[in-house]
Amino acid sequence: MDSLLGWLDDRFDGLSRRSHRDTPIAVFLIAPAVTILGVFGVLPLILSVYLSLYAGRGINMHFIGLGNYTRALTSEAFWNSFAVTLYYVVGTVPVSLAISFVVAGGLYRVIRGRGLLRTVYFLPYVTSVVAAATVWRVLLDPRVGIANATLSALGWIGDAPPQWLLEPRGVLHLLSGGWIPSGVGPSLALVCVMVFDIWHTSGFMIVILLAGLSAIPRELEESALIDGAGWYKRNRHIVLPLLSPSLFFLLIVGVIRAFQAFNSFYALTGTGRGPLDTTQNMTVLIFTNLYQYQRVGFGAAVATLLALAIVTLTLVQWRFVGRRVHYE
């Protein structure tokens, strides 16, 4: 093995010396990844953009230029899905980050049983979304689910048990007793999907943050404790700045993931669209159009718009949040 690598190195070295660059060895190193990503990632991407300029049901396609884009940007379905996507991103990423930050902080200070607790918190992340969602569907089933069984045992259910994943009315509407109009904010069904996602991904964030915390010198915190700094002060001035690279990483990755979320929607609601389309995020809209209605061009156009939204948001975060990240 070593001699093979050495022999290859010598060959590449010979090639490099002539060109005064690392190009030959770099081509060798990136070739497998670039080939696969080019063929199965970039190619479909180009094809998708190309198809977004056509109308038709996947056959007899004809060119219509930007027609699909104008249709998307003027359609109720698109803006509805955009709102659902935004609710979802805002409702999951910061919440799971906050929960993970608090839990990781707690776990870090626990000496005995930390390993076990950490394992338990990480557990949902290793289970398949399809299997876990299957379980959650039963948990939230209005009739046999433990959610309503618990509420009714507590005597909190009148003659209208919560419908969870079937409820299109806004959660703010329900909580405010009807004072806030139903269409404002996410539906209860969407909130259920959010809670599922928070449950499923927080373990991952906790482990990353815990690892980040382990890198913080203990003395720093102890001296702060001696100074009499409270929980908030310690976190705000010591822990948060030192964890900021990890938090920033989780934010970027979490936002991209949340924008593209599909499996949990599909597995929890059956179609992804949910009651009155209130869980139809952009990916579900794309999926429905591509595979349910055979509107290939329209679906592809929404996909391009989604990708643009993700790129824009990632760059914005990089600029405005990234600046505030504290690197040692």
Partner 1 sequence: MRRAEAVLRMVLLVAGAVATTFPFLWMLGTSLKTLMEATTPSLRVFPETPQWHNYVDTLQAAPFGTYFFNTFLVAFIVTGSVTVTSLMAGYAFARLRFPGRTVLFSIILATMMIPFEVTLIPNFVLITRLGWTDTYAALIIPWCANAFSIFLMRQAFRGLPVDFYDAATIDGCGHLRFLAWIAGPLVKPMVVTVALFAFLGSYNSLVWPLVATSTPEMRVVQVGLTMFSGAEGVQFNLLMCAAAIVIAPTVALYFAAQRYFLESALGAGIKG
Partner 2 sequence: MNGRTFPLFQRCLLVLIATASLIGLVGCGPSGYQPIDESKVLFWDRQTTETADLLRDIIAEFNAQHPGLPVEAQYSGGYSDIFRKVSSSIQARRLPAMAVAYESMTIEYAQAGAIVELDPFVADPEIGLDADDLADFFPVVLDTNRYVDAGDKMLSFPFCKSVLMMYYNRTVLGEAGLDAPPATWDEFLAQCRAVKAATGKTPAAVDVDASTVDGMIYSMGGDVVRDGKTLFDTPESLAVFALYETLAKEKLCYQIPPGSYDDRDAFAQDEIAFFFRSSSHRTYVADAMGLTDRWGMARIPQADPAQPRTVLYGPNVCIFRTNPEQERRAWEFVKHFTSPEVNVRWALNSGYLPIRRSAARDPRIQEFWAEWPDNRASYDCLEFARSEPNIAGWQEVRDLIETAVTGVLTGERTAEAAVQELKTKADAVISGYLP
The binder of 182, among partner 1, partner 2, none, by C-beta within 5 to 8 A per type, is partner 2
CB of 260 to partner 1, least distance (A): 4
Nearer to partner 2, 62 or 112 (CB): 62
CB of 207 to partner 1, least distance (A): 6
Instruction: Supply the DSSP symbol for 62.
Output: E
Residues 240-279 that bind partner 1 (CB under 8 A): 245-246, 248-249, 252-253, 256, 260, 262-263
Are the C-beta atoms of residues 133 and 200 closer than 8 Å to each other? Answer: no
SS (H, E, C) 194-239: HHHHHHHHHHHHHHHHHHHHHCCCHHHHHHHHHCCCCHHHHHHHHH
Q: Tell which one of 177, 179, 214, 319 touches partner 1 (CB under 8 A).
A: 214
38 binds partner 2 (CB under 8 A): yes
24 binds partner 2 (CB under 8 A): no
Are the C-beta atoms of residues 170 and 187 closer than 8 Å to each other? Answer: yes
The count of residues interacting with partner 1 (CB under 8 A) is 106
Are the C-beta atoms of residues 242 and 216 closer than 8 Å to each other? Answer: yes
Q: Tell which one of 47, 110, 215, 220 touches partner 2 (CB under 8 A).
A: 47
The binder of 57, among partner 2, partner 1, none, by C-beta within 5 to 8 A per type, is partner 2
User: Which of these, 193, 86, 184, lies nearest to 140 by C-alpha position?
Assistant: 193
Handedness of CA 298, 302, 307, 308 (dihedral sign): positive
109 binds partner 1 (CB under 8 A): yes
Handedness of CA 151, 153, 158, 163 (dihedral sign): positive
- Count Cβ atoms below 10 Å from residue 206 Cβ, excluding itself: 25
150 binds partner 1 (CB under 8 A): yes
CA 148 to chain centre: 28
CB of 249 to partner 1, least distance (A): 5
CB of 65 to partner 1, least distance (A): 20
Residues that bind partner 2 (CB under 8 A): 34, 38-39, 42-43, 46-47, 50, 55-59, 61, 67-68, 71-72, 75, 137, 141-144, 159-160, 163, 165-169, 182, 269-271, 273, 275-277, 291-295, 297-298
